[in-house]
């Protein structure tokens, strides 16, 4: 897996995503942020759960997700979207695994994951998981506070799960993470059967969309 890299000079001016962002944006449109699962690696664009939701609700959903993305990229893209395009009606925030972060080497930022880590990343991991989890929660809380202030509905999704300690902290802020509870109707199904043999199949995206429809309908009706 190649390391995604940024230059400091452009990082704060650009929405980082796999798909082109249309300049035609309406206040009724929705926004999605996340990592490669939301960007749709391993499936065709029309098969991505975001595209399925767009078809189901008959409205544009702008996909600003990025492969190897982390919480900071998601937060950055939400903030920059609001500045450039105004408030969407709804934000779907698929928060990536907490143990991801941008490591800066001079003016170049590398998006590091467990699979693409460097020495600094590995040292932080050995020192303690809260080197990652605290910043991860800070981004989620900040994005949700901003949405609350602007009266934007936001759905917070984590395609895995974390310790109850972190749920408790977020819930005290009024934030519910829709995680993989390993229960019927409350799981995010993975199969590693995407075309790249790493990500997940169109069937998984269909199941994710079905669960998200239930979550969206619950908060919007």
Q: Where are the domains of the chain?
A: 4-220
The SS3 call for residue 101 is strand
Look at phi and psi of residue 106 and say left if phi exceeds 0, alpha if psi is from -120 to 50, else beta.
left
For the chain, percent of residues with pLDDT exceeding 70: 100
Examine the pLDDT at 2 and tell me if it is beyond 80.
no
The SS3 call for residue 55 is helix
Mean local confidence (pLDDT), 14-35: 88
In whole angstroms, give the CA distance from residue 60 to residue 58. 7
Res. 21 pLDDT band, cuts 50 70 90: confident
Examine the pLDDT at 29 and tell me if it is beyond 70.
yes
Cα atoms found within 13 Å of the Cα of residue 177, Cβ hemisphere only: 29
Examine the pLDDT at 33 and tell me if it is beyond 80.
yes
What number of other Cβ atoms are within 10 A of residue 11's Cβ? 16
Examine the pLDDT at 1 and tell me if it is beyond 70.
no
pLDDT of residue 55: 98
| Architecture of the domain defined by 4-220 | 3-Layer(aba) Sandwich (3.40)
Examine the pLDDT at 132 and tell me if it is beyond 80.
yes
Examine the pLDDT at 93 and tell me if it is beyond 80.
yes
Locate all alpha helices (DSSP H) within 12-161, ordered by sequence. 36-39, 49-57, 71-85, 119-127, 130-150
């Amino acid at each position: 897996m190649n390391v995604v890299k940024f230059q400091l000079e452009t990082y704060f001016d650009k929405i980082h995503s796999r798909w082109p962002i249309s300049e035609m944006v309406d206040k009724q449109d929705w926004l999605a942020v996340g990592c490669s699962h939301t960007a749709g690696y391993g499936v065709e664009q029309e098969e991505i759960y975001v595209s399925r939701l767009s078809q189901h609700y008959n409205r544009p959903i702008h996909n600003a997700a990025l492969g190897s993305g982390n919480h900071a990229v998601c937060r950055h893209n939400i903030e920059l979207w609001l500045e450039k395009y105004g408030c969407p009606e709804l934000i779907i925030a698929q928060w990536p695994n907490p143990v991801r972060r941008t490591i800066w080497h001079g003016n170049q930022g590398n998006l590091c994951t467990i699979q693409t880590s460097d020495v600094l990343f590995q040292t932080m991991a050995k020192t303690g998981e809260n080197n990652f989890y605290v910043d991860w929660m800070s981004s989620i809380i900040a994005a949700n506070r901003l949405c609350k202030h602007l009266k934007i509905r936001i759905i917070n999704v984590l395609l895995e799960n974390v310790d109850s300690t972190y749920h408790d902290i977020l819930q005290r802020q009024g934030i519910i993470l829709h995680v993989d509870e390993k229960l019927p109707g409350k799981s995010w199904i993975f199969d590693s059967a995407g075309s790249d043999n790493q990500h997940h199949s169109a069937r998984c995206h269909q199941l994710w969309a079905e669960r998200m429809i239930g979550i969206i309908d619950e908060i919007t009706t």
